[in-house]
Amino acid sequence: MADSSASTGSAEPGASSESAASVHLAGRSRPDRPVYVIGGGPGGLAVAYALRAQGLRAVVLEKSDRVGASWRKHYDRLHLHTTRRLSSLPGLPIPRRFGRWVARDNVVRYLEKYAEYHELEIVTGVEVSRVERTADGADWLLHATGGRELAGSAVVVATGYNHTPHVPDWPGREAFTGELLHAGEYRNAEPYAGRDVLVVGVGNTGAEIAVDLVEGGASRVRLSVRTAPHIVRRSTAGWAAQFTGIAVRRLPVTLVDTLARPLAKVSVPDLSAHGLPRPDTGLYSRVKEGAVPVQDVGLIDAVRAGKVEIVAAVEGFEGGKVVLADGERVEPEAVVAATGYRRALEGVVGHLGVLDERGKPIVHGARAPRNAPGLYFTGFTNPISGMLRELAIDAEKIAKAIARRGGVERIPGRG
């Protein structure tokens, strides 16, 4: 595999960087240092390639033993909701044979091939716990697994939007006698055939898992909804929803909200009678708050057919029962919490004043925080135009910004 071959030299980046981490002596210029990219997912790999294309040395630090770790953990039926053509990373198209909507396993294959094809320098099994300034104040020092201290000219944090599973601290949760799991642990419907399952959360993950359970033979599937989502067709007459997302992304929010309302009425049936009313806030307003629309991959038909029952939000647990916001108590055999993830950046960079009140970076892409020049973030937004597309664009912008700063170790024979 691509990352395993790269990791055979994993001791060398750490050793050379540890040596370079010492304070330079008075009158001597500091050595050029590599860029460290934290995270071996699509964002990290794209940045590493873009830096390499600039002739700059980039070292990817990945805490797992393979690239694309988060993608390997997604449920089996997952396909990209963005088109293959607009989901490729820079420097290597996704193969046509993977189809228009690329399956999870093929995304993983693509990421493996990407790392191998571009000969990226990847160190696996190394987790970064803290990033701070070097003692001389000129560069960055990374504290990592095994007591490593690695000094880099710049750092790109690409640990991912879906990093740490989040399950709400519902009252009575620990005493629940049924099965409770986060959506990140769900693989397929096979273990739930013939069982009563409650899915909590109606984002894209919760909606698709609910459909998967229906198709996989669950005896009853309920979907707990706190806020009715905007639902869009993934594709209409061959026109992907992503195309519209790209077209409207830079338009005023109120204008997009206004245009989206009549389009939704034409393309998506009213599900109010089934417990899913049309949202009372605008589609793009929701996106700006971090809630992307649900792309329909079977939910509409399943709800209309009564195969997925919409119920109120979960308020807590009482023994084997789940207490809903409307006072109803249901008794599922299993609960799948599609309740999102946390970025978990506080321990790594929280002390640098670069995160907002929600724990998200205050800037992303080619912009570095004013108080932390040389520190970049990618993959911490969920744009309507498609995350992989934006990761690819950001990667090249970040690489150019770092190249302009200078002080980066160059790849031998590359300038």
Residue 414's pLDDT is: 63
- The reply to whether 235 and 308 lie within a common domain is yes
* Amino acid letter for position 357: E
- The reply to whether 365 and 335 lie within a common domain is no
Does a structural domain hold residue 410?
A: no
Does a structural domain hold residue 193?
A: yes
* Amino acid letter for position 94: I
pLDDT(222) > 90: yes
- The reply to whether 170 and 159 lie within a common domain is no
Task: Report DSSP letters for 232-263, one per residue.
Answer: EESEETTEEHHHHHHHHTTS-HHHHHHHHHHH
Spell out a b/e string for 128-162, using b for 16 or more CB atoms within 10 Å of the CB, else e: beebeebeeebbbbbebeeebebbbbbbbbbbbbb
- The reply to whether 321 and 185 lie within a common domain is yes
- Confidence band of 160 (pLDDT split at 50, 70, 90): confident
- Summary mean pLDDT of the chain: 91
**CB-CB contact of 69 with 6 (8 Å):** no
What domain range is 306 assigned to? 165-340
Q: Terminal CA-to-CA distance of the chain, rounded, Å?
A: 29
- The reply to whether 370 and 263 lie within a common domain is no
Residue 136's pLDDT is: 87
Domain at 320, CATH number: 3.50.50.60
Structure tokens at 3: 């990352």
Q: Compute the distance between CA of residue 404 and CA of residue 383 in angstroms, rounded to an integer.
A: 27
Task: State pLDDT tens for residues 238-264.
Answer: 999 999 999 998 999 999 999 999 989
pLDDT(6) > 60: no
- The reply to whether 11 and 105 lie within a common domain is yes
- The reply to whether 355 and 316 lie within a common domain is no
- The reply to whether 202 and 300 lie within a common domain is yes
- The reply to whether 263 and 295 lie within a common domain is yes
Does a structural domain hold residue 412?
A: no
The last residue of a domain, from among 340, 360, 391:
340
Residues in the chain: 415
pLDDT(163) > 90: no
Does a structural domain hold residue 415?
A: no
- Rg of the chain on CA atoms, in Å: 23
Q: Compute the distance between CA of residue 323 and CA of residue 2 in angstroms, rounded to an integer.
A: 48
Structure tokens at 145: 């697994």
The last residue of a domain, from among 292, 307, 340:
340
Nearest to 157 by CA among 364, 400, 385, 413: 364
Q: Compute the distance between CA of residue 226 and CA of residue 291 in angstroms, rounded to an integer.
A: 13
Choose the weakest-confidence range: 52-56, 214-218, 381-385, 411-415: 411-415
Does a structural domain hold residue 331?
A: yes
Q: Compute the distance between CA of residue 370 and CA of residue 357 in angstroms, rounded to an integer.
A: 18
- The reply to whether 142 and 248 lie within a common domain is no
Q: Compute the distance between CA of residue 200 and CA of residue 221 in angstroms, rounded to an integer.
A: 11
- The reply to whether 334 and 354 lie within a common domain is no
Q: Classify the phi-psi angles of 406: left when phi > 0, otherwise alpha if psi is within -120 to 50, otherwise beta.
A: left
Structural domains in the chain (count): 2
pLDDT(2) > 90: no
Does a structural domain hold residue 414?
A: no
Does a structural domain hold residue 146?
A: yes
- The reply to whether 329 and 372 lie within a common domain is no
pLDDT(13) > 60: no
Nearest to 388 by CA among 62, 44, 32, 149: 44
Q: What's the whole-number mean pLDDT along residues 100-113?
A: 98
- Confidence band of 29 (pLDDT split at 50, 70, 90): low
Q: 279 CB contacts (<8 Å, ≥6 apart)?
A: 227, 228, 229, 230, 286
Does a structural domain hold residue 411?
A: no
CA 86 to chain centre: 17
The last residue of a domain, from among 299, 319, 340:
340
Residue 291's pLDDT is: 87
- Confidence band of 7 (pLDDT split at 50, 70, 90): very low
Kind plus residue range of the DSSP H or E element containing 154: strand 154-157
Spell out a b/e string for 244-253, using b for 16 or more CB atoms within 10 Å of the CB, else e: bbbebeeeee
Q: 75 CB contacts (<8 Å, ≥6 apart)?
A: 104, 183, 186, 187, 188, 205, 208, 209, 212
Residue 8's pLDDT is: 34
Task: State pLDDT tens for residues 117-159.
Answer: 999 999 999 999 999 999 888 999 999 999 999 999 999 999 9
**CB-CB contact of 161 with 341 (8 Å):** yes
128-133 sheet: strands from edge to edge: 128-133, 140-144, 148-152
pLDDT(166) > 90: yes
